[in-house]
A and B are shown apart, each in its own frame.
Chain A
Amino acid sequence: MKRFVALLVSSFALMAAPVVAETVAITGGKVVVGDGSAPIDGATVVIRDGLVVAAGTDVAIPANARQIDASGKWVTPGIFAGFSRIGLIEVNAVTATNDTNAADSVFSAALDVQYAVNPFAAPVAVNRAAGVTRAVVSPSTGKSIFGGYGAIVDLGQDSDPITKARAFQFVELGETGHRRAGGSRAASHILFRAMLEEARTYSRNPSLFDSDLMKASDAKALLPVINGSTRLLVHVESANDILKVLDLSKDFPSLKLVLVGVNEGWRVANAIAAAKVPVLASALSDLPYSFEDLAATQSNIGRMKRAGVEVAIGMINDRDAHQLRYSMQYAGNLVALNKVPRATGLSWDEAFAAISSKPAEIMGMGAQLGSLKAGRKGDVVIWTGDPLELSTQVESVFIDGVEQSLSNRQERLRERYRNPAPGALPKAYDR
């Protein structure tokens, strides 16, 4: 990874960011730890060896630290996109660049996005420049209800994007599951149970495995789901579909469920909370896009939170390969709801946590990612102001303690056409 960055630096002067994790002290800024606590004015953040050493007002600055004056600025953990397809798509409609699903593959649960995530895809650089540093990357589904393994990634400029491979399995059990399974939720649920049962059969004698439902590789891939060592992200929207998924724990008590989407979650928030199943929810869905979304409201996340559900913002099927930079706007909108009578939003501190520490915790990585607590990876963003506000710009981005280039092809196009008329030579010579 460092090797590749060195190569980039040698070929592109504009990428002349330091390639190794420095010791850095960011001083004087308004620091948001990201764990739901209130911002701290005039605080210092120290990162060393790629990790956060400390964040607060009583922090010693190491003698060898590069100091960055962030007076008047905000300093936060990098944005953690709770559900995305970042790095799986360059251009959606150009199928050769779209690796979200494998509809013509013989495999399902065994598919693994770690081989498909492209750290050099343009959307990675664009969203990095906007302050997004980590993301949950999920496959979508092809022929089966199971999409395969997803990963946790960083959006760094180096060649190794994978923070955690095989971080979860993805399954569709709402309307999409109905369709994938042959046209009924009766079918999607029996398919789900049958595939898990057959995976158990596989584990008893792999060499004899023979199934009409899946390949041995798929069965093998489901074993860590059954025993709970890998999370199962389940896309559902309607209240009834949510309840039916929660019921799966009766037959498969070790499942480590995470719900995704969940537009009607507020209707069954108490049941979700009681089951202690966390949620990566769409933030601003408020229309009956389909009959599984009839009760969608922007107050969904706030109401679930008040009911005790552990919830973060995800962006399933919502420009989730290109626009993770909407995360801050979405969180800000949930804060705005507090001033709308009868609506339920999040406090500012909760809203920021919903795009930083909460997704990390829900994915079981809260001790490594998502906040500026000591020991977390050095993902830090310096902003010109309130990071949830639309007018705010990103000044600096650190990932794993390495300051990142903010350059990307949108910025290059912008500069080329700052004055649209050609000069002494055609535009093609302006670089």
Chain B
Amino acid sequence: MELKDLLAVVAVGALVTGCAATAAETETASASATSSSKGSANPAFPSTYKAYPSDNIVITGATIFDGEGQRIDDGVIFMSAGKIVSVGGPETIIPTDSTIIDGTGKYVTPGIIDVHSHLGDYPTPSVAAHSDGNEATSPVTPEVWAEHSVWPQDPGFSRALANGGITSLQILPGSANLFGGRAVTLKNVPARTVQAMKFPGAPYGMKMACGENPKRVYGNRNRKPATRMGSLSLTRQTWINAQDYQKKQKGAKPPKRDLAMETLVGVLEGDILVHNHCYRADELNQIIDMSKEFGYKVTAFHHAVESYKIADILAKEEICSAIWADWWGFKMEAYDAIPENAALLQQAGACVIIHSDDENQIQRLNQEASKALADGRAMGIEISDAQAIQWITYNPAKAMGIADQTGSLKPGKMADVVLWNDNPLSVYSRPEKVWIDGAMLYDSRDPSRRPVSDFELGQPGEGDVK
């Protein structure tokens, strides 16, 4: 496959393969467990994920970033039965029957969450046989589901865990299509089947795309859309069809099941969250107006490199921007990207998510957040370390509709926790231990607690530190 050549055109390679999604979620959809479970009401392909065995774990003396913007010095966290039981200062009561880990000089965060990944649907090795992220045979494919492309043996999952502390992630279809299909949220726990990785109760996402990619892919075949106006017309017509289907569903004679329409109606009814790949400020605004025309909500704009130009509008509309810290220049619509995008959004009160769309940077989302933080501070915007951690924990959880279950260190939530050997906003920091639902699935000190995918078994470098 020409991937290495595409990499010379680097980010373009990234766009051809992966590319952006957007999550739009309503406050209600993200806030209540009922609405988030509604999204998975469809009984097909149910999650079979089960937490692995866990101990009672207490970490003492660590600096804790709770994921919701708070920092606790000399903090204590207690996990039991796969849940967070208590988080607090040194006065926190420590149960006697627990394994106590001295976190002095170390840091604790919630498990890191990537709202935009193609692990599994564009896995490594990136050979043509593995190119499963874009059903680029039609610009409108809401009927496809990313989970049906995900290869659980992608070695990238293990790197994201060990180097990045990633505990949950959303796998999206690519951005060749206006409607790319359903996204799936996974726990980053190795499994034989995708179903055994599916985050229980997580709502579905739907990937949409605007801008250069769809018009390039289909315009080059002399098909619609060849222009941005072609894209908008086709997208709007599709919503009109979905509204029609929705109306018929409620009528006396429901129509024949239609996978595409089921997904679209799921969006219109607020059960499926829209993750919209879109770069330019003017186009973000077009999409917002389209969503209002049809009465759905965009949860997040993905790759929104120009969000900073309309930060006030995005704050008012309560739409998250899922962005890179500093990618730019790989295509025309990425030309005006600036490293202060995240900070300017934060300053305006808009929701910021740092995402990867990349099998390498998913291993360093903490560092990407740190760079975005530093660039904001350099221009005089005051943002705390703890707020920057929220960009890669609570905020993506919220956009994925799982913030009631994970994304911050609150009692009762899943014990998805990372112990870092230094401040995760420092380049010198790495995960030391990672727990998912209380089960320790990575320990840098124990080679047996490092997952090795089937693909890497018996290969050079099997089980290496990577």
Tell whether, in the assembled complex, residue B464 and residue A294 are in contact, meaning their CB atoms are under 8 Å apart.
no
Tell whether, in the assembled complex, residue B460 and residue A264 are in contact, meaning their CB atoms are under 8 Å apart.
yes
Q: What class of interface size applies to chain B in its complex with A?
A: 35 or more
B445 to chain A, nearest CB (A): 5
Take A289-B124, A322-B330, A339-B430 as given contacts and tell me if A296 and B3 are in contact as well, using a CB distance cutoff of 8 Å: no
Contact of B309 among A90, A264, A388, A420 (CB under 8 A): A420
Tell whether, in the assembled complex, residue B332 and residue A329 are in contact, meaning their CB atoms are under 8 Å apart.
no
Interface of B is mostly: loop
Tell me the number of A-to-B contacts counted with CB atoms below 8 Å: 194
Tell whether, in the assembled complex, residue B155 and residue A287 are in contact, meaning their CB atoms are under 8 Å apart.
yes
The CA of A297 and the CA of B348, in the complex, are separated in Å by 40
Tell whether, in the assembled complex, residue A390 and residue B367 are in contact, meaning their CB atoms are under 8 Å apart.
yes
Tell whether, in the assembled complex, residue A289 and residue B126 are in contact, meaning their CB atoms are under 8 Å apart.
yes
Tell whether, in the assembled complex, residue B427 and residue A390 are in contact, meaning their CB atoms are under 8 Å apart.
yes
Interface residue stretch chosen among A91-99, A215-223, A245-253: A91-99
Tell whether, in the assembled complex, residue B311 and residue A420 are in contact, meaning their CB atoms are under 8 Å apart.
yes
Tell whether, in the assembled complex, residue B9 and residue A340 are in contact, meaning their CB atoms are under 8 Å apart.
no
Tell whether, in the assembled complex, residue B370 and residue A390 are in contact, meaning their CB atoms are under 8 Å apart.
yes
B379 interface contact, C-beta 8 A: yes
Tell whether, in the assembled complex, residue A322 and residue B329 are in contact, meaning their CB atoms are under 8 Å apart.
yes
Tell whether, in the assembled complex, residue B4 and residue A290 are in contact, meaning their CB atoms are under 8 Å apart.
yes
B421 interface contact, C-beta 8 A: yes
B137 interface contact, C-beta 8 A: no
B72 interface contact, C-beta 8 A: no
B5 interface contact, C-beta 8 A: yes
List, in ascending order, chain B residues with CB within 8 A of A284's CB: 360, 363
B311-355 with Cβ < 8 A to chain A: 311-312, 326-332, 334-340, 344, 348
List, in ascending order, chain A residues with CB within 8 A of B360's CB: 284-285, 287
Contact with B along A74-92 (1 / 0, CB 8 A): 0000000000010001111
The CA of A286 and the CA of B461, in the complex, are separated in Å by 10
Take A93-B332, A342-B447 as given contacts and tell me if A287 and B359 are in contact as well, using a CB distance cutoff of 8 Å: yes
Tell whether, in the assembled complex, residue B374 and residue A393 are in contact, meaning their CB atoms are under 8 Å apart.
yes
List, in ascending order, chain A residues with CB within 8 A of B156's CB: 287
A238 to chain B, nearest CB (A): 9
List, in ascending order, chain B residues with CB within 8 A of A343's CB: 465
What residue in chain A is nearest B371 (Cβ atoms)?
Answer: A390
The CA of A294 and the CA of B155, in the complex, are separated in Å by 10
B447 to chain A, nearest CB (A): 7
The CA of A410 and the CA of B338, in the complex, are separated in Å by 5
The CA of A291 and the CA of B129, in the complex, are separated in Å by 13
B10 interface contact, C-beta 8 A: yes
Take A92-B330, A295-B464, A318-B10 as given contacts and tell me if A287 and B309 are in contact as well, using a CB distance cutoff of 8 Å: no
Q: Which of A's residues lie within 8 Å of B, judged by CB?
A: 85, 89-94, 98, 100-101, 122-123, 126, 140, 175-176, 179, 239, 264, 267, 284-291, 293-299, 317-323, 325, 329, 332-333, 335-337, 339-343, 388-393, 410, 413-414, 417-418, 420-421, 427
Task: List 10 tightest A-B contacts by C-beta distance, closest first.
Answer: A295-B461, A332-B427, A93-B331, A295-B460, A317-B7, A390-B370, A343-B465, A286-B466, A391-B374, A322-B329
Q: Which of B's residues lie within 8 Å of A, judged by CB?
A: 1-5, 7-12, 124-127, 155-156, 159, 163, 212, 308-312, 326-332, 334-340, 344, 348, 359-360, 363-364, 367, 370-371, 373-374, 377-379, 421-422, 425-430, 444-445, 447, 455-456, 459-461, 464-466
6 additional A-B pairs beyond A89-B329, A393-B378, A421-B312, beta carbons within 8 Å, are A287-B159, A296-B466, A297-B465, A340-B465, A342-B465, A414-B308
